[in-house]
Structure 1
Amino acid sequence: MEKHKIFHIIKNYKGNNPLLNSMILGLDDRFDARACYLFGSPDGKNLLDSHGKAIYLDMNAKESRLAIIQHLVRLLKSEQPQILHCHKHKTTALGTVAAIFSRTPYVVSHVHGMNRTRTLLTRLINWLLLRHTSLIVGVSERVRTDILSTNWGLAREKVVTLWNGIDIAPANALSLNRKLARKKMDVSESEFVFGSVGRLARTKGHEYLLASFSKIRENCPDARVVIIGDGPLRRDLEDQARELGISQNVLFTGFRSDVLELLPGFDIFVLPSIAEGLSLALLEAMASKLPVIASDVGGIPEVFGNEEIGRLIPSGDIAALGSALLEIYSLDKKDKMLLGENARKRIEDEFNIDFMCRKLVGIYESLLMSGKG
């Protein structure tokens, strides 16, 4: 039986991507899915390479959009996938045009964040191109609602929600004990750790975490903040910590490839974002049985559901974040453990990789059976 061929189009190769790996390797044997990266070359770290599931076009960044489209058209005519699954806006634009000229039957546009239709020009481009897409996938219900409200003429049934999922097995296998995790971070066993993971960029809201921590530090003298990640705001955040007089209580680890091994060293996970689609870092922290404090933005409330796993706070609200930090800090050990157990159960029930892959297969099946390609 001939397999249904699916190509995922990704703009840049930025290293091994567990979510993409799962979307490609987690399908049943009726499907042959591959990743196609427009820019970037293999580095020996991509799991998809060992399965023969990665294609690197390695385009020159200076090449025109027309040249990229032409390259894609040649590839699609040669490989003849039935479904082109495009991730993010620019790739959707390039992929949709290439699909039209290559007569690829189905195009899926996968939207990973909020407010992607920011300008009138973007809205016009979407109006022209999205009529040629078969389906639009949002990573949360709020993202789906945002897509429908900011684009012209989209039928509601054309936009669906697919929650991100994570493989909880690595969280089990790589989660070390607290003592070893803290040794890897150079944090003492006696300290209470408010931890955060994410790119150091404006949308992640780390400046609010620092500001709120500075206001409650006297009430939790054994606490410190550990921020895992790197990005354009690192120097600004380090300067802010110095200006607030908390630099001795804040650790910036920089980029770490062993995040799952470090999470057990946290006492509370904090996600102070001002914009999110659906945070994988949040899911990983919950899988590691951590209580969580997170901003009420994007798909985050959907992750919380009705479970008691921590606290949702308004984004950018320093006072509310500080109160939540102090409240969870003050809980006894048993109550904090219960929040973490609830968080883990929420991932097992709704945000595991098997659940996501089953729904993705259903999306592909509905397209292939529709006969509208």
Structure 2
Amino acid sequence: MMTKRIKVLQLQPDYNVKEHDFADLAEQIVKALPAERYEVVAAFLRGKPQQGEPVSRAGRSVYFEFSDKQLKGLRLQAMWQLYRFCRAQRFDVVICNRFKPVNMLLQLNRWLKVPLCIGIAHGFGEYERYYRRFQVKYLIDHAWRFVGVSPAVRQYLLECNCGFSAQNTLAITNAIDIAQAESLQFSRDEARRLLGVDLQVRLLGTFGRLVPIKGHVYLLRAFARLKDVHPQVQLAIIGKGREEPRLRAEVDRLGLQGRVHLLGFRENALQYVRAFDIWTMPSLAEGLGLALLEGMSGHLPVVASNVPAMLPLIQGAGGLAVPPADVDALTAALADYLRLSDQQLKERGEQAYAYLCANHDIEAFRQKYLRLIDEALKETRTSP
């Protein structure tokens, strides 16, 4: 006799499925749930794939295509549609990624009575507003479990003092599929040829969104202090965003033309990670910083900001941690690495890679989510 499968809804704010899922938290959770036991539906509040774009590996995908306006304020129309959908489907588990889906399900589950709801917090600041804390404290019940993507994010939730507790809140540190990530990476020389970077220089840099919180302007200023001492060193940043005009102006102001490469958006940026010799992340804040793990997957030594979510990773990887927005400290850290020989840099990179394999293995990540769902379902179904 076939056992009825557990019905799981994974709700995300935006369609953002990538061709390669090595660092996609939601898709890795889908992979964690055996198809013979779980029936998984992926739902997205905004957006949908265009022709030829990838879809979730979940058994079914649903695209609500709500507008930004429909997801602001009371969101009555969006709430009603989501309620009707969940009521008709009778899910056993709803996994909510980021604040908006969590907020909507906290309200709706007063009537839906889904046995298990899991809210995943990816960063800091989501519960800074008083009314959000008040609402969460009022609505959290025995059906809810919460996950911080790093111990620092979990600690942030606990310190909000609004219903998150040691019993209902845990940390499951983000991971990446290391084998898949490495299989995508070009060799050092091929990556540089594709990026148009000199094969002979030492290259430091990173990739990611060009937004102020990533701290790229401080990296430019630190590099400006080193460029004359290390004429064979260049800097490259892969990514796009609203900060790009400011960064280009800063390159001109600091006289870094020809030494700094703002390379724009590149599909599957991880392919180019081995073009770099030193990986940098000067972020002002991070929930975890997947790009840090991606740099380690390229066997690169790391320099990054000592924000709470990243400091244990940097230390574990044998990297150099600096205070955010501290140009003096960032300059000194980069100088320390640039004084090393090629062999010494390679050894630092191998240390970072070994740490990644030992502490951010994707199979361990999947098993933690599977265990959370299995154990929490048993608890919630026996609770009064």
**TM-score relative to the length of structure 1:** 0.94
1:19 aligns with 2:21: no
Match of 1:161 in 2: 171
Quick one: which of 49, 54, 58 aligns to 2:61?
Answer: 54
- Check the 8 A contact 1:113/1:276 in 2, yes or no: yes
- Give the counterpart letter for 2:11 in structure 1: I
Distance in 1 of aligned mates of 2:117 and 2:360: 25
Q: Deviations over 1:261-302 (max 9, x none)?
A: 200100011000010011111111101101110111132123
Distance in 2 of aligned mates of 1:174 and 1:232: 28
1:213 aligns with 2:215: no
Distance in 1 of aligned mates of 2:210 and 2:195: 18
Match of 1:37 in 2: 44
1:348 aligns with 2:354: no
- Give the counterpart letter for 1:45 in structure 2: E
Match of 1:293 in 2: 303
| Residues 338 and 350 of structure 1: CA distance in aligned 2, closer, same or farther (over 3 Å) | same
Quick one: which of 100, 114, 121 aligns to 1:90?
Answer: 100
Distance in 2 of aligned mates of 1:207 and 1:126: 37
- Give the counterpart letter for 2:357 in structure 1: E
Distance in 2 of aligned mates of 1:33 and 1:90: 20
Match of 2:158 in 1: 148
Distance in 2 of aligned mates of 1:167 and 1:28: 18
Distance in 1 of aligned mates of 2:118 and 2:216: 33
Match of 1:28 in 2: 34
| Residues 168 and 122 of structure 1: CA distance in aligned 2, closer, same or farther (over 3 Å) | same
Distance in 2 of aligned mates of 1:180 and 1:120: 52
Match of 2:12 in 1: 10
| Residues 53 and 329 of structure 1: CA distance in aligned 2, closer, same or farther (over 3 Å) | farther
- Give the counterpart letter for 2:44 in structure 1: Y
- Residue 114 (structure 1) shift: 1.6
| Residues 10 and 153 of structure 1: CA distance in aligned 2, closer, same or farther (over 3 Å) | closer
Distance in 2 of aligned mates of 1:249 and 1:114: 35
- Residue 61 (structure 1) shift: 3.1
- Check the 8 A contact 1:269/1:293 in 2, yes or no: yes
Residues 132-281 of structure 1 aligned to structure 2 (within 5 Å): 134-281=144-291
Match of 1:336 in 2: 345
- Residue 306 (structure 1) shift: 3.4
- Residue 225 (structure 1) shift: 1.1
Secondary structure, aligned partner of 1:157: coil
- Residue 58 (structure 1) shift: 1.4
Residue identity over aligned pairs, in percent, reads 28
Quick one: which of 300, 321, 329 aligns to 1:320?
Answer: 329
Quick one: which of 292, 295, 307 aligns to 1:282?
Answer: 292
Distance in 2 of aligned mates of 1:331 and 1:191: 14
Consecutive unaligned residues in structure 2, runs of 5 or more: none
- Residue 128 (structure 1) shift: 2.5
Consecutive unaligned residues in structure 1, runs of 5 or more: none
Structure ranking higher in helix proportion:
1
